[in-house]
Amino acid sequence: MKDLLTTADLTPADFAELMRLTACYAQDPDHDPIFLHHGLVALHFTKPSTRTRVSTEAAVVRLGGTPITLSAAELQLGRGETIEDTARVLSSYVSALVIRSSSDAELARFAGAATVPVINALTDGHHPLQSLTDLFTLGQLFADLPGRRIAYVGAGNNVAVSLAQAAALSGVDIALATPDAYPPDAGGIRAAEQIAAATGSTVTCTRDPAEAVRGASAVYTDVWLSMGDPPHEAADRRAALAPYRVDSALMDRALPEAVFLHCLPAHRGEEVTADVIDGPRSVVFRQAANREPAAQAVLYALLRRKLQGRG
């Protein structure tokens, strides 16, 4: 595999290897301090980022490389240069491209033209780096993770789709509770279901949050208005998603040992109440910290064959 554009690009064996590598880097972030050997990694972000940008930059440095963060205004893309030309040129300078863009189609064009690995740092359709982090975090908490159940409650967005695919790759059951107005992408869920059929897990979609969290070991939610959602939809989205707020009453319907996850940033009082996200069952900051070793794992996995060949 050259690129990581969606979580479904991975096989169960790929996913297990990334979990192993993430555990290695979580235990010792400086395990491979000269792996990139002063190589450069370009980070092209067309949307704001805190966790993804900083964790990926830190991962590059930990591996002995130098990150170069480029906004759209700093590239000739803003003056009409094609994505393909930009990808080919950058490939001659850097070891990998990490891209955050609204468009999955644009990301695919970058990957098609680039001769170095391209990593999806979030698009409107997918967030694979987040999903790797999520399942790694749950694996730290539950040694018997395969066969357990994750509940996702809220809008059916990119995080929900990638989470479903990662759960399926891990042999974990997942139930997604979303309103009719904001369902998860059908194609993304079909991909998760196909993976689940091979791993023996299940992917369930429902409108009922209580049904989704019943028997769950983890309850996950995300913001009601994501980057890229039209601001004029805010009132409608809040009305439709209000029944999907994660509060202590909903958490009590899950297993007693259930934990709460959120990819952040969070809006207390909207998708989650303060007593849940700041309470003892919340693991959101552990989850956020794991973004760095997950990024190290992906960079190492995608680049090791090329860089080992260089030596």
Query: Of 51, 53, 62, 100, which is the active-site residue?
Result: 100
User: What per-residue confidence (pLDDT) applies to 311?
Assistant: 44
Is residue 130 part of the annotated active site? The answer reads yes
Query: Of 126, 205, 262, 263, which is the active-site residue?
Result: 263
SS3 252: coil
Amino acid identity of residue 63, one-letter, is: L
Q: What is the pTM of this model?
A: 0.96
Is residue 222 part of the annotated active site? The answer reads yes
Q: Mind spelling out the 3-state secondary structure of 105-132?
A: HHHHHHHHHCCCCEEECCCCCCCHHHHH
**CATH 3.40.50.1370 residue spans of the chain:** 7-126+291-310, 130-289
Long-range pairs for 197-200: beta carbons < 8 A, 24 or more residues apart: 198/12, 199/12, 199/168, 199/169, 199/170, 199/171, 200/171
Mean pLDDT of successive 10-residue stretches along the chain, which has 311 residues: 96 98 98 94 93 97 97 84 95 97 95 98 97 98 97 97 98 98 97 98 98 98 85 91 98 98 97 98 98 98 77 44
User: What per-residue confidence (pLDDT) applies to 308?
Assistant: 63
Query: What is the dotted CATH code of the domain comprising 130-289?
Result: 3.40.50.1370
Query: Of 32, 130, 149, 165, which is the active-site residue?
Result: 130
Q: In what order do the strands lie in the sheet with 259-262?
A: 203-206, 173-177, 149-153, 218-221, 259-262
User: What per-residue confidence (pLDDT) applies to 175?
Assistant: 98
User: What per-residue confidence (pLDDT) applies to 73?
Assistant: 82
The 8-class DSSP code of residue 268 comes to B
Is residue 100 part of the annotated active site? The answer reads yes
The residues with which 297 forms a beta bridge, in sequence order, are none
Sequence length of the chain is: 311
Query: Of 126, 127, 148, 237, which is the active-site residue?
Result: 127
Matching residue, tokens 């092209």: 44
Amino acid identity of residue 252, one-letter, is: D
Query: What is the dotted CATH code of the domain comprising 7-126+291-310?
Result: 3.40.50.1370
Is residue 253 part of the annotated active site? The answer reads no
Query: Of 44, 222, 237, 296, which is the active-site residue?
Result: 222
Query: Of 149, 237, 291, 296, which is the active-site residue?
Result: 291
Query: What are the DSSP calls for 183-239, one per residue?
Result: PPPHHHHHHHHHHHHHHT--EEEES-HHHHHTT-SEEEE--SS-TTS-GGGHHHHHH
